[in-house]
Amino acid sequence: MNKHIGATRFLYNLALETKQTAYAGARVNLSRFELQKQLPELKKELPWLKEVNSQSLQYSLACLDTAYKNFFKNNSGFPKYKSKHRRESFGVPQNVAIDEDKLFIPKFKKGIKIILHRELKGEIKQATISKSKTGKFFASILVDNQKELPKKLKITEEKSVGVDLGLKDFLITSEGEVVKNPRHLRNAEAKLKFVQRKYSKYKGKKTKKKLQNLHERVANARMDFLHKTSYKLVSENQTICLEDLNVSGMMKRVKLKKDEKGNYIANGQSAKSGLNKSISDVGWSTFVEMVKYKADWQGKNVLFIGRFDPSSKTCSDCGSINKELALSDREWTCKACDITHDRDHNAAKNIKSFAMNKKNMCVERTLKNHEELPTLVGALTHEAHPIGSAVGE
């Protein structure tokens, strides 16, 4: 399995370099099929590639092709080279079978002993084998159960809920329900720092393994919390209204300046150090993705409001806007109607109100940078650089 992971990573990086070289030199955009035709020649030059399932090698080229398409459709950034220090995996697009406690894939005739997480119902299509930092292997099996997604339920204000995501509390709904932020990384930070300092000093294998286990435990606890919270939210509501948060933008470092009172100021508001770590620990982006696909499974609706809509600064009773509201103000009193609001609960109410008003024209907005978007010129030719040309001397 390690050979499969290394070989597919090598081919992915080699194909990416070849595509970039071909486009820079001859303005030719090589397709995955052009690259696949060159695999037999590459295997003659690198015989160790024959030890790996050829379908997995072809699948890595298909993944690269998908990454390019997503980039040009503004769904993601430009494809990057894969590193063995990040997520390690390989795909098996076909010929996958499970018999009792064994997984059968090409090149593994005796099968691989597994612990089956749940019974598979449907036709097995493909599998993805991944390896964690602690050396554990996992197989994600894609199964076609021949079922269509249910139709979306009718959107009504009575069966809708607004959700405000935060750091003090993980979320608060327009109905007043509060889910506390478990702060998985913060709670384990003291132990992580101790083990990290020990590893930095001695570089021992046991210490490294212990550090990896601690990080894996934190990640597993976070994912477990996000799955349970998103499932409960979708199951109990017919329509979920959320804010389109720019998480990556919120985590960008900003230059802080001191005001007359000695407080740090960023973009006109008080800023606290360590906010980036808290944002990454809470997992907003993953939670929103979970809510979206679980809502599709159950026929529920997910509505988004714009990221610049003043959900926190708007009074949910009279509609007036408090332009002086700072990030540190957890409660505020409306000057127009003299009602005191909890910042997060008020925001959740406004999120629901804004989403209901915009439900006919609410779309997800994704801001992308088009400055480096290349122009597709030329056509496929036989003069394009072969895949073997990217092999280093």
Cα–Cα distance for residue pair 143/119, rounded to 1 Å? 11
Distances (CA, A) of 226 to 220, 233, 303: 10, 11, 19
- Cα separation of 355 and 342, whole Å? 20
Catalytic residue (choose from 34, 65, 164, 309): 164
Please identify which of the residues 65, 88, 243, 309 carries the catalytic annotation.
243
Q: At what angle do helices 54-72 and 2-26 cross, to 10 degrees?
A: 50
* C-beta separation of 294 from 228 below 8 A: no
Catalytic residue among 65, 88, 281, 344: 344
Q: What is the largest CA-CA distance in the chain?
A: 79
d(CA 334, CA 332): 7
**211, 133 Cβ separation under 8 angstroms:** no
Is 393 a residue of the active site? Answer: no
Q: What are phi and psi for residue 136, nearest 5 degrees?
A: -85, 140
Q: Are 65 and 75 in contact (CB under 8 A)?
A: no
Residue 164 annotated as catalytic: yes
Q: How many CA atoms lie within 13 A of 8 on its CB side?
A: 27
Residue 372 bears catalytic tag: no
- Yes or no: say if 74 and 366 are a contact pair by the CB < 8 Å rule: yes
Q: Where are the alpha helices (DSSP H) in the chain?
A: 2-26, 32-36, 39-45, 54-72, 184-202, 205-236, 247-250, 275-282, 284-298, 343-357
**Catalytic residue numbers, as ranges:** 164, 243, 344
